[in-house]
Structure 1
Amino acid sequence: GSAALLAALGMRDGFALAAVSASTTLGYVTLREFAIGARGRRAAAGSSWPAALLGLFERDRRRYGGYLVHLGLAVMAVAVVSATVYQSQARGIVAPGESFEVGGYTLAFEGLRERAGTANGIETEVVAAVTVRRGGDVVTSLEPGRRFFRNFPEQPMAMVDVDTGWREDLYVFLQGWDADGVAEINAFVNPLMAWLWIGAGLYVLGGIVVFAPQPARERVTAPAVPPSGATTRA
């Protein structure tokens, strides 16, 4: 089943296999219910796929809102397991011009920059200019850093910089530096984090649909039918 397919694709962790297999099965069953319901409405009314799907919620909000909740849970579970089990991390102690690797990315440290604070109470910010490459191509430029406050100079606040994508997120932290400009930089690659938010959105949307008031159906009174054999007077 799905566990064998995931193992063939390279997933070896037992916990991840079990959790992702269960979640994908739940997602498949839920999507199948939507497909069956929409296909039935299309056959009955000849409507388009979007109209047929919307018609499912009009007919039974609680049922199909619950399916959305289940689908959101399945997507979130896959994202959380992937980010937990398959996270990549690395620490680089680098001088300007040096680089280090993490999760298929090459992070090149270009040097430290100091800039004045942009808000009240912030005295200065120190950032590390980092160029991110993958397969030799520049992906993005990040500036993790530290923010120093006038009233609390010994308690700087970390400034995390993130490159977000559909497949994974790259988080970069500046841990510290020395007088020669050598910096300590931590980097993490978390798979499928964007899908965690997509799953959360489906979960919330499903909850709203479930608890939204069902519109009252208009009652139609049928005309009385005379009993069999009865006669009517003109």
Structure 2
Amino acid sequence: MAGHKYEQVRDHLLRRIRDVPVGGQMPAESVLCAEYEVSRITLRRAVDELVQDGYLVREHGRGTFVTRPRYHLKHRERFVNEVTGFYTQMARQGHTVTSEVVAQERIRAGARLAATLDISRATSVIRLERLRRVNGVVHHLAESFVAEERFPGVLTTDFTSTSLYAYLRAHHDLLLARNEIVVGLHICDEREAALLGVAEGSPLLLATSCVFEPGGKPVIHGTSKFLPETAELSFDIVADVE
């Protein structure tokens, strides 16, 4: 299996267990290892993520059984050893993601963005702001910035049902190698509160990210403001064992 083996095993298992009733038992690890032609470490990592997301449960001495996520409105965004967009992550888990484009405009970079994206302060930057929903429920407010000179199509592309990451891969053959993320608390202002349907001054989870291509050049700066009651952030830090 090419690419990240555990991700492919995880995604295939997720599709497979959707056809299994709650309480159904999964094959033994040794059987799955042989079937997917992967090591026990790789298989356990794939199963671990499905356990964390609530699709499987381990019972000591009995085996692994199919269950269903306990939180129907609480969606986990993973920050793992791969760089994917929110759309891809949620789609893998079987959710429907839609975006309402709030702003799609050209602005001057200014000092902060210039430093973050390693560009001139006078450079034109495209600001893309989207209100994102998962299965029809408001999930978070996302804001992304890219240099217009390099990615001019971002200004006019319809991102209602298109991932920014997928667009950049498809139209610019862009590989995303690293995502640096800082998570903190943000108190929403009046505008954000109206968009998210919460009271002004409500606390939000704020994830600020900078995405780099191979070679270390920053290409996307973004922020995501999450509703704590409908989202959680998960960090998976592992050694590269295979």
TM-score of the two chains, using structure 2 as the length reference: 0.30
Structure with the higher fraction of residues in helix conformation: 1
Q: TM-score, normalised by structure 1?
A: 0.30
Which has the greater radius of gyration? 1
Larger RCO of the pair (alpha carbons < 8 Å, separation 6+): 1
